[in-house]
Amino acid sequence: MKAMFILVAVIAVAGLAVYQYGGVGDFDPTKQGEEARSKIQAGKTWQQVVDDAGEPNYFRSMVIKTRRTPSGPVESIVPGGQNKYNASIFGKRATGEGFPNGFLFEYRFSERVAFAVHFDATGAVTGTSDLTTTADLLDQR
What is the average pLDDT score of the chain?
84
What CA–CA distance (Å, rounded) separates 121 from 67? Answer: 23
Close Cβ partners of 4 (under 8 Å, ≥ 6 residues apart) = none
- What's the pLDDT at 70? 92
Close Cβ partners of 50 (under 8 Å, ≥ 6 residues apart) = 56, 87
pLDDT at residue 77 is higher than 70: yes
Domains and CATH numbers, the chain: 29-137 (3.30.1450.10)
For the chain, give percent helix, strand, coil, nearest 5.
35, 30, 35
Q: Identify which of 27-31, 34-38, 92-96 has the greatest average pLDDT.
A: 34-38
- Global pTM? 0.74
Least confident of 10-24, 31-45, 89-103, 114-128: 10-24
- What's the pLDDT at 141? 59
